[in-house]
Amino acid sequence: MSLNPVSDHETSGDATPRRPGPRVVEPAARARAPELGSDKQMQTFRMPRELVAFLRSEAERGARDLTGHVLRCLEGIRTYFGLPAAATALLEADRRALGMERLEYLLHVLYHRSLQLREKGPGFDGPSSPDQRRR
């Protein structure tokens, strides 16, 4: 197993090297980025073109390079998206009590959110909702 530093080059589906455009990362986005070690291992995955296109589009929309975007997503799943330790401990205890794998548990949580949305409507707990303005 070789440890190779990951370069700023990305490859498209046809293995043609492609340099991403200039990265513009806002300070708030930097603060939310997970802290990963500097040692990186080169790993290759085969993915459907549609998935790669989706990932690229999401990365560009967030002004991130593709590798940084994928790392951010995977690290988010691993760390419950940077929630405080007390919250992650509760979520992990709940996940284990339900006997679910991590992705299965995240789907479970999203499904329960969708039930709330069906009952209360989109954005019911957002900053501009009537309940939030009364606080």
pLDDT tens string 43-61: 999 999 999 999 999 999 9
pLDDT, tens digit, 9 for 90 and up, residues 114-131: 999 999 999 999 988 776
Do 52 and 105 reside in the same domain of the chain? Answer: no
Indicate whether 38 belongs to any domain: yes
Query: Which pLDDT belongs to residue 27?
Result: 41
**Residue 101's pLDDT band (boundaries 50, 70, 90)?**
very high
> What secondary structure does DSSP assign to 47-103, as a single string?
--HHHHHHHHHHHHHTT--HHHHHHHHHHHHHTGGG--HHHHHHHHHHHHHHT--HH
pTM: 0.63
What range does the domain containing 69 cover? 10-78
> For the chain, what is the total number of helices (H) and then of strands (E)?
6, 2
Return mean pLDDT, the chain.
Answer: 80
Which region among 9-13, 18-22, 127-131 has the lowest average model confidence (pLDDT)?
A: 9-13
Residue at token pair 């303005």:
133
Indicate whether 16 belongs to any domain: yes
Indicate whether 102 belongs to any domain: yes
Do 62 and 22 reside in the same domain of the chain? Answer: yes
